Structure 1
Amino acid sequence: MPTAPPPAPPAPAGPADPLRAVAVGLLNLSGLGLGYALVRRWGLMAVCWIATAVLLVVALPADPDGVPGALLVGYLVLLLLAAAHGAAVGLRTRLSLLPGALVAAVLGLVLLAVPAGGAVLYDGARDEATEQMLLDRLDRADKLVAAAAERPFAASEADYRRALTAYDRLVKDHPGSRAAGHVPDRVRTYYATVAAPYTVKDYCGAVAPLKYLRTVPGSVARKTVGGLSGWPDDRLATSLYECGAASLAAGSSEWTTQFADLLSTFPKSSQAGEVEPAVKTRVDAAVKAVGGSEPCAAVQRLDSLATDVQELPGEEAGLSGALDKDAGRATASARTGAYACGVDQYRDGSYSEAVTTMNDFVKDNPHSGNAGRAKKIAIAAEVAETVPAAGKKLPTTASGGSISVTIKNDSPDDITVLYTGPVTGSLTLKACGSCSSYSLSSTLGLGFKPCSAGKNYPQKTIRLPVGTTYFVHKSRDDSGGSPASDTAKLRSGYLYTECAYTTNYTY
């Protein structure tokens, strides 16, 4: 059967030719094994092609991390070995495909541009990949800001901080990148987004985000913030004032926090200068309200205003004197307004509160023109606590009358006798040393007649007008049991005796 022809014998070795050796080595440096092709070493050429193909598969498409260092070093070592080996083979091996060693050497030099140009192009592609990666980071930060804007600041602050960190790192770590170049515009948008409540005049809601923005310059690079360092200041001052003024007008206690922050943080601002007029207006309104339908509420507001205004830090703003004056006026008006409050409490049947209010008024305003009547109202209110019918009319300052009423003390205690009706007053009687408190059951019997044992009872005589007078008598130290009461309808032409006693029954 026919047989295949024998393979062609290798080219005979010729004399050594250094130029040829250089040409083969240079052609192998291209990474394509072309030097091996000239000396017909096809297997070694295939190894070069495979190595280059592996490098391209790993390297493309370019990414910011580039080619693994070990692979790149291994490939370069392979190229150097191929160049050295090719040069050794080409030294004594005649060339094929090309007419001479000089042409091959020139071609080798030209083809060196292939790996060199590829490296340059690859570096450019890697740089672009890095830019795209940084732009992606920028885009993710932008999306964090946009998403955070849809939620209240307290819930989104963490996302705002993450976005700010991303912007800052772009500026610090990649200052020459396209992404870093976009950061100034993004940070302006960032500030406007965080401060969005201010834009829609939600001044109370704007305080926290604007305070946060004031901390930003201290946590990032100066280039990141640019000229925005002072951007929140005037907006925060306005928000603190407007929020505080709204809280003050609504009667909330939160205004003190807002105004205190404003006066401490921006004492020389125009907004700080508006604090005292706002406080004065509120004090004026509360003073006027004392004469309205709810005087007690107005007095309470004045007391609260006086305390709160005194705590405002007005020194740096130069407002201490004016604020102290406002606080003093609120205190004085609250004290004098207590009279109107006590009258209102009396008329509403809140007798216990009226007693306390009027007694405090007399103590705080002993020289007031209303002090005398306030004492009468306090007495009448205390009588009405035991005998509600006594509180139907507001007592006057009238005194005296045409009817003599002798009041005796049938009690083992010093007693106070309170009475109200056409006139109102009180008196005290010393204890009856031989007397004792009565049990409740004894006072309910038909034959109960205090002051009838013929004893030498301590007594005083007063003069009262015609009409119904309500009496209450009680131990001066509140240790003699429950107060006793009596209702006397006084008529002309009679002498009356009122017996004061106490019972040992406690309600």
Structure 2
Amino acid sequence: DANPAQAALIGLLNLSCLGLGYVVLRNWIGAALCWAATVALLVLALPADVDGVPAGLLIGYGAFLLLAAADGARRGLRATLSLGASFRRLALPLAVVLLAVPAGGSLAYGAARDEAKEQALLERLSAADAQVKSADGLAFDKAEPILAKALDEYEDLGTNKAGSRAGKLVPARLDAYYESVSAPYEKKTYCEAIAPLKHLRGLGGTFDKDLLGARPAKTDEPLAHSLYECGTAALAVATATPTAAASLNELLGTFPKSAHATRVEPAVRAAVKKRTDVLDSAPDPCVLTVELRTLRTTLNDMTDASLEGITREAKEGVQRGDFACGTDQFKDKDYDDATKTMTEYAKEYPDSPQAAHARSIAIAAEIADEEPAAGKSLPPSEVPGGARMILVVSNDGPGAVDLLYTGPMTGKVTLKTCATCTKYPGPILSQGKKIKACQGPASKYPKTTLLLPAGDYHFLQKRGGSPTVAGDTKTSKVKIEPGYSYTNCLYVTSGF
């Protein structure tokens, strides 16, 4: 006869995933199929991973269990079982209890899969930490792309996986990130710290604000400090990168109310004063002048109105420095550089009270470059008073000639070329005969008259004109005595 209770028992026993209904029926083929299906599921599902078991496999296995239960119920409906009465009373409760096997296994598997997900997230967090560490010691422009990848991981874990163990660790990692990236500031390498600190401050505009909290704002003080230190250290350094103006302009523009912004004007003023105060006594005023010129350029590139007064001081310092530099070059017998420096000074500052003296020093240096005795002392800054003696200079030679002189008075005159004059024979062709220059009519020769105070003078004539006489230079020494008039005739001889 049909036994529905027995059919239900066999069906429930087969739902346990162990094929026990078939075992009771002694249907070993059915039991083996159930065991094979369960073993195959375990092999494919274990160990648990992040992705879990494919849905198709679970659906297939569930369908198989239902079929096994239905088949077992069908077979058990009219089967004759050799079971004792006591077992029959316990069989149904046992079958129900055994249903906990698949349910418990499912729960255990879910927990294992969740742990696998947690471990995968922790591995992502560790990989991001490793990227941050790998950027240590790199120049920031090379480190930034690496750091950006780590930040993407932190942001995803901290927002989309905030409840995970890895997500809960992200705030601590961000603290470590800020500490690592701002390390140059802690090491007091202020110029190197600017780019990383700007990066950290700028994260507020690109990173999740709730996750970042107040961290970007905490970089304001270090960044302002770094801009100040980097800028003031570069004030007199022409090759500094970044330039002093770039750093200080950014400081004044970005943090105008910071304590460091108020320090800019005194620092720049002190840098200028430090150099201008010792210009006249420095062993090498040329170096100070180069630094002052760099300071002047920096100030010209700065836009803050409070620096206008210092800019004027720097310009005046450069002018003083140029003169002091040229004077020092003359005293050090560096006549070529002294000539260039003082000539440029006279051109750049034509209205300066020292412009005339600068021209005199340039002339004296040019003479001393050919005749060192002319550089024993600087030309006087003022033309001496008293009686003047006449010196008439004539040009009896082809090509215009510049005549430079220095002594109690320094100057330069240019005589035009003598169109009809030629070279005189040299020592060999003249056979020792005395050259008689300027013997023609006075009107023939271009001439000029100098009125000179008494004293010893050095002369330098520099002739230009045709290639055969251009570049011809000659030096001479003349003693001008009171009460006398003098003449000097300039001529050219051949080389033989």
Do both share a fold (TM > 0.5)?
Answer: yes
Query: Which of 263, 266, 269 matches 1:274?
Result: 263
Q: Displacement of 1:80 after TM fit?
A: 1.0
What is the alpha-carbon distance in structure 2 between the residues aligned to residue 234 and residue 425 of structure 1? Answer: 61
Q: Residue 465 of structure 1 contacts residue 490 of structure 1 at CA under 8 Å; is this kept in 2?
A: yes
SS in 1 for 2:214: helix
Q: Displacement of 1:227 after TM fit?
A: 2.9
Q: Displacement of 1:391 after TM fit?
A: 1.8
What is the alpha-carbon distance in structure 2 between the residues aligned to residue 229 and residue 39 of structure 1? Answer: 73
What corresponds to 1:63 in structure 2?
49
Using the TM superposition, name which of 398-407 and 345-354 deviates more.
398-407
What corresponds to 1:287 in structure 2?
276
Matched, 1:498 2:488: yes
Note the aligned Cα RMSD (angstroms). Answer: 3.1
Amino acid paired to 1:290: L
What corresponds to 1:128 in structure 2?
115
1:102 to 1:276, Cα distance in 2 relative to 1, 3 A: same
Using the TM superposition, name which of 389-398 and 250-259 deviates more.
250-259
What is the alpha-carbon distance in structure 1 between the residues aligned to residue 465 and residue 312 of structure 2? Answer: 36
1:27 to 1:445, Cα distance in 2 relative to 1, 3 A: farther
1:504 to 1:339, Cα distance in 2 relative to 1, 3 A: farther
Amino acid paired to 1:350: D
SS in 1 for 2:125: helix
SS in 1 for 2:408: coil
Matched, 1:352 2:340: no
What is the alpha-carbon distance in structure 1 between the residues aligned to residue 481 and residue 88 of structure 2? Answer: 154
5 Å-filtered alignment, 1:137-156, equals 137-149=124-136, 153=140, 156=143
1:461 to 1:118, Cα distance in 2 relative to 1, 3 A: closer
1:402 to 1:32, Cα distance in 2 relative to 1, 3 A: closer
What is the alpha-carbon distance in structure 1 between the residues aligned to residue 315 and residue 17 of structure 2? Answer: 96
1:400-445 Cα distance to aligned partner (Å, 9 max, x none): 6565433222245554432112332334445544324668789997
1:184-203 Cα distance to aligned partner (Å, 9 max, x none): 11111111111112122222
5 Å-filtered alignment, 1:288-327, equals 288-291=277-280, 292-312=282-302, 314=303, 320-327=304-311
Amino acid paired to 1:272: A
Q: Displacement of 1:252 after TM fit?
A: 4.9
What corresponds to 1:75 in structure 2?
61
5 Å-filtered alignment, 1:80-479, equals 80-97=66-83, 99=85, 103-149=90-136, 153=140, 156-248=143-235, 252-253=239-240, 254-291=243-280, 292-312=282-302, 314=303, 320-396=304-380, 397-399=382-384, 403-413=389-399, 415-436=401-422, 446=432, 447-456=434-443, 457-465=445-453, 467-474=455-462
Amino acid paired to 2:378: L
Q: Residue 307 of structure 1 contacts residue 327 of structure 1 at CA under 8 Å; is this kept in 2?
A: no
SS in 2 for 1:406: strand
TM-score normalised by length of structure 1: 0.85
Q: Displacement of 1:206 after TM fit?
A: 1.5
Q: Residue 204 of structure 2 contacts residue 212 of structure 2 at CA under 8 Å; is this kept in 1?
A: yes
SS in 2 for 1:175: coil
SS in 1 for 2:235: helix
Q: Residue 399 of structure 2 contacts residue 470 of structure 2 at CA under 8 Å; is this kept in 1?
A: no
Q: Residue 387 of structure 1 contacts residue 485 of structure 1 at CA under 8 Å; is this kept in 2?
A: yes
What is the alpha-carbon distance in structure 1 between the residues aligned to residue 176 and residue 293 of structure 2? Answer: 46
Q: Displacement of 1:123 after TM fit?
A: 0.9
SS in 2 for 1:274: helix
What is the alpha-carbon distance in structure 1 between the residues aligned to residue 276 and residue 404 of structure 2? Answer: 33
1:365-416 Cα distance to aligned partner (Å, 9 max, x none): 4454433432322222232233332222211134465654332222455544
Q: Displacement of 1:334 after TM fit?
A: 1.4
Q: Displacement of 1:255 after TM fit?
A: 2.3
1:307-341 Cα distance to aligned partner (Å, 9 max, x none): 221112x3xxxxx2222322222112212332222
Amino acid paired to 2:268: V
Unpaired runs of at least 5, structure 2: none
Q: Residue 26 of structure 1 contacts residue 112 of structure 1 at CA under 8 Å; is this kept in 2?
A: yes
1:83-117 Cα distance to aligned partner (Å, 9 max, x none): 11111111111334363877544433232222112
What is the alpha-carbon distance in structure 2 between the residues aligned to residue 347 and residue 151 of structure 1? Answer: 50
Q: What is the aligned residue count?
A: 485
Using the TM superposition, name which of 136-145 and 440-449 deviates more.
440-449
Amino acid paired to 2:195: A
What corresponds to 1:20 in structure 2?
6
TM-score normalised by length of structure 2: 0.86
What is the alpha-carbon distance in structure 2 between the residues aligned to residue 351 and residue 216 of structure 1? Answer: 59
